[in-house]
A and B are shown apart, each in its own frame.
Chain A
Amino acid sequence: MPAMRIRHSSLVRRLLVAVLFALIIFAAGVVPSRAQEPAPEDAVKAAMLYNFVQFVSWPDSAGPAMEEGVVLGILGRDPLQEWLFDLAAEGGRRGSLKTVQLESLQDLHAQKHRLQVLYIGRTAQQDIEVILQILNGMPVLTVCNDALFVKQGGMMNFVRHNSRIRFDLNLDAARRSHLKFSSRLYGLARLIVKDGVAQEGR
């Protein structure tokens, strides 16, 4: 039915013109916002971990190599590590950060003096108590993906809330290890453990 097709195409052409016209008008008056594809959860967490480091200050005693950059230990296996490795390799802009893969608790024990940050991977989460004992009092920022980590004495954990990533802080644990969090972090945290009490953040 050729008659039908002709009707189609002229309609469509008119419509396309109208749409383009509308787009131009809209384009003139738009205020940018962030239209983004959902990002892989682990990529966002890795990027956040990278960012945290800027808001933490270590005591002067924290490792001899601080000037050369922060050393991040990754204990156990975790999907996050691939993103962390990538970020470390890109490195640069925010100062260098070195990643070290720790294979076992023995390995952690041997290398603990090198570390400024320890990320406890998924397969190591069963040993959280032992890990915290090994690092007891040492100036190492402990980070984990387990939402109950700060309540167990860890310093920071990620927590997912309705497809966004938040984090919790334990200021008591940080103080025991002589680490200081910037007040900017307080403002963003979901849950803050202070003086033995867990309080909602902002």
Chain B
Amino acid sequence: MDLSLEELMEVEVTSVGRKLQKVSETPAAVFVIHQEDIRRSGATTIPEALRMAPGLSVARIDGSSWAVASRGFNGRFLNKMQVLIDGRSVYSPPYSNVHWDMQDTLLDDIERIEVVRGPGGTLWGANAVNGVINIVTKKARDTQGTLVKAGYGTEEEGFAALRYGGKAGERADYRAFVKYFNRGTLQPNDYGYLGEGEAHDDWNAFRGGFRLDVAASSRDEFTLQGQAYSGTEGQVDQLWLLDPTVSYNQRVVSDTPFAGGFLLAHWQRQLADGGDLALQAYYDHSYRDEQALGKAVWRVFDVDFQHRFSLGRRQEILWGLGYRLIKDEVEDGDLVTFEDGSANDQLFSLFIQDEITLIPDKLRLILGSKFEHNDYTGFEYQPNARLAWTPNKHHTIWGSVSRAVRTPSRMEDSGNVLYTVLQPNLFFPSPLPIKVVIDGNKDFDSEKSLSYELGYRFMPGGGFSLDTALFYTRYRDHRSAEPLSPVFDPVPINHLLYAFQEDNKLEGETWGVEVAVDWLVSPWWRLQGYYSLLKLNLTPESGGEDYISTWLYEESSPQQQWSLRSSFDIGRNWDFDLWLRYVDSVTVYFTEIDDYYGLDARLAWRPRPGFELALVGQNLLEDEHTEFQAEFGRAATVVPRGFYGQVKWEF
């Protein structure tokens, strides 16, 4: 770094730990979205910001729900990705998905989002089958002073945020924030024979939080943070009624209230031998009441311990212990019913990882495994082996073999889903209406996967870098819905009941390639691009009869995606950003959705330090486009072109 002292003092820094953990040397498919990227993308929610990461597919279902997946199987109830915010898992145990509408913070406080594609079970445990998203917020010392932000636009019908950061002593910093947004409806979907309606998917939420960092001594760092939020979102529910006086296929407008909060304490100690210890505990409370899915309250208590130390000159050991208690209370919804109204689930975990330097600065081997015990399937193990070869600072080649599992959710164990009602008509000449239900299964087992990855990073210098990953994953015991014999049921009216039972009789494979390029063309112009390709095959295992899931999941993630972002600095005081992306067509719930191009643009002006005016245009190419379909419960809506303006003042 050939900069003068004055220049160095202007360089923005991140606390991405030790030198050995540089992203460019990590033997995994990692992409980091920095605060600067979030700011310049114009994104106002976390899932929208995730569109910047290669290999992820992000589809907006309606105003407040998203389907986000890494390497296939996309859906609102995608269950193969772990999401953590400052070490707190936000994967929802009752439904085995992430409720993206409930996950938010002041986006300006996010330091970075690390997106790991591929299995991360060894470190992050079950359900990190195809990816891990790690959202890391800034330390309180990096958010000192006041921030005021407000904006308004076509979809953003008013948002505001206030944050204040100060010192609570010589070695203690804190911040506190509140934010509110009100988002208008998207465009209604044209459901043909049902006619047009309103989208009804407007939403609003209020959120407040704090963080306190205390450097108790030169070796100890203590963090306490918490948040509370509450909001309401509208949607059109896709319900099925067995009532001949009305259409079986009902669209009902309802509101979903959601609320929650958490408290997290983290303590880290540097050890004299260069290692460190970390102890973390959190309590997280979540509530939502959705017409179709029912009402659910879940509380998670989690405590985690980690220890890192060097063993001799060539080995670094990282090991940890964890305990998690999940208590839930559920009430039946119109489509989802539970056999037990409440459950207490416990999870015990232990992991150990050894990083061995085979040739100093050139060849590293990482071996490790997670061992877990959960209440549904008992003992699970998730080992991996990774090798990274860095012949010089311009090249890194890495490879890995990993096993990961996806453990059953409450819904798969003891929930039942009313999937659809098929109404007799001209094209479906059945004598009786057919009700299709999917029953949970107490014997439902974990899904297993084995992944092989190969990656290459090329950093020739001059502000250019290229990151490529190839992967092949085999799935065994994947969730299937096995048909049971149809039964005649006279209640409430004569109909045939076709039940499917959840089972583990699918197998599958995915393969693909992801390429990301980052090029600082000149000091004031940066280009970032990616391309990803994904292929997925699902087939029934011997004895399996599920030929439907194949249709549901094989093409729910786009086969091809690419994106190109251009960031211009026009002088010191203007930003001009353009972001073009392409998403291939997908097939969700038997419906094909066209491929689309999205273009966002942002222009920002800083008339004086700390004061920024920004204008953002989103999805500029088309009046509207569809990104996803209702899987069950929620009718999808259409994403329109949007604009908003924002004022931000930091002092």
Contacts and interface: CB of A to CB of B under 8 A. Distances in A.
Contact of B8 (A31, A33, A51): A51
Contacts of A83: 19
Contacts of B20: 82
Contact of A48 (B5, B273, B580): B5
A196 B275 CA distance: 37
Contact of B19 (A8, A11, A40, A166): A40
Contacts of A148: 170-171
B572 interface: yes
B524 A30 contact: yes
Instruction: Among B218, B520, B567, B578, find the residue whose CB has the most chain A CB atoms closer than 10 A.
Output: B218
A162 B11 contact: no
B466 interface: no
Contacts of A161: 141, 144
A75 to B, nearest CB: 12
Given A12-B621, A38-B35, 10 more contacts: A11-B597, A11-B621, A26-B568, A27-B525, A40-B22, A41-B16, A43-B19, A79-B17, A160-B13, A164-B11
Contacts of B138: 163
Contact of B524 (A8, A33, A162): A33
A35 B525 contact: yes
A160 B142 contact: yes
A123 B270 contact: yes
A110 interface: no
B570 to A, nearest CB: 5
A39 B12 contact: yes
Contacts of A41: 13-16
B285 interface: no
Contacts of B104: none
A130 interface: no
Nearest to A14: B621
Contact of A34 (B5, B523, B596, B622): B523
A201 to B, nearest CB: 11
A4 B273 CA distance: 63
A6 B272 CA distance: 65
Nearest to A122: B270
Contact of A35 (B9, B272, B569): B569
Contacts of A19: 566, 578, 580
A66 interface: no
Interface of B: 1-20, 22, 34-36, 138, 141-145, 170-171, 217-219, 270-274, 520, 522-526, 566-572, 576, 578, 580, 594-597, 599, 621-622
Nearest to A94: B2
A8 B595 contact: yes
**In the complex, the 5 A-B pairs of residues with the closest C-beta atoms, listed nearest first:** A125-B218, A41-B13, A77-B274, A31-B571, A38-B14
B569 to A, nearest CB: 5
A42 B18 CA distance: 8
B13 A188 contact: no
Nearest to B35: A38
A113 to B, nearest CB: 26
Interface string A97-123: 000000000000000000000000011
A155 B641 CA distance: 57
A17 interface: no
B523 to A, nearest CB: 5
A76 B207 CA distance: 43
Given A11-B621, A126-B217, A30 B18 contact: no
A5 B524 CA distance: 35
A90 to B, nearest CB: 10
A27 B522 CA distance: 10
A45 to B, nearest CB: 8
Interface in A36-86: 36-44, 47-48, 51-52, 55, 76-77, 79, 82-83
A5 B219 CA distance: 60
A4 B626 CA distance: 13
Nearest to B594: A4
Contacts of A93: 2
Given A1-B594, A11-B621, A79-B19, A39 B144 contact: no
Contacts of A39: 1, 11-14
12 contacts: A11-B621, A12-B621, A26-B570, A33-B571, A40-B16, A41-B16, A48-B5, A52-B5, A82-B18, A123-B219, A160-B13, A163-B138
A160 B145 CA distance: 14
Interface of A: 1, 4-5, 8, 11-12, 15-16, 19, 23, 26-27, 29-44, 47-48, 51-52, 55, 76-77, 79, 82-83, 93, 122-123, 125-126, 146-148, 160-166, 184-185, 188
A42 B22 CA distance: 12
Contacts of A44: 1, 8, 11, 13
Contacts of A126: 217-219
A16 to B, nearest CB: 8
A150 to B, nearest CB: 12
B568 A30 contact: yes
A27 B523 CA distance: 12
A123 B272 contact: yes
Contacts of A32: 522-524, 569
Contact of A12 (B1, B217, B597): B597
A8 B270 CA distance: 56
A122 B141 CA distance: 19
A55 to B, nearest CB: 8
A184 B17 CA distance: 31
Contact of B13 (A27, A35, A82, A165): A165
B5 A38 contact: no
A39 B3 CA distance: 12
B459 to A, nearest CB: 12
A122 to B, nearest CB: 5
Nearest to B16: A40
A52 to B, nearest CB: 7
A35 B526 contact: yes
A162 B569 contact: no
A123 B522 CA distance: 41
B595 A164 contact: no
Nearest to A184: B5
A82 B19 CA distance: 7
A130 B84 CA distance: 42
Given A35-B567, A164-B13, A47 B8 contact: yes
A183 B174 CA distance: 34
B19 A30 contact: no
Nearest to B575: A35
A122 B599 contact: no
Contacts of B3: 47
A12 B4 CA distance: 44
A148 B170 CA distance: 8
A164 B524 contact: no
Contacts of B7: 34
Given A4-B594, A12-B621, A32-B524, A37 B34 contact: yes
B621 A163 contact: no
Given A8-B596, A19-B578, A38 B219 contact: no
A123 B219 CA distance: 7
A15 B524 CA distance: 22
Given A123-B272, A160-B142, A188-B6, A33 B170 contact: no
A75 B217 CA distance: 18
Contacts of A55: 5
Contacts of A165: 8-9, 11, 13
Contacts of A4: 594
B463 to A, nearest CB: 9
Contacts of A146: 218
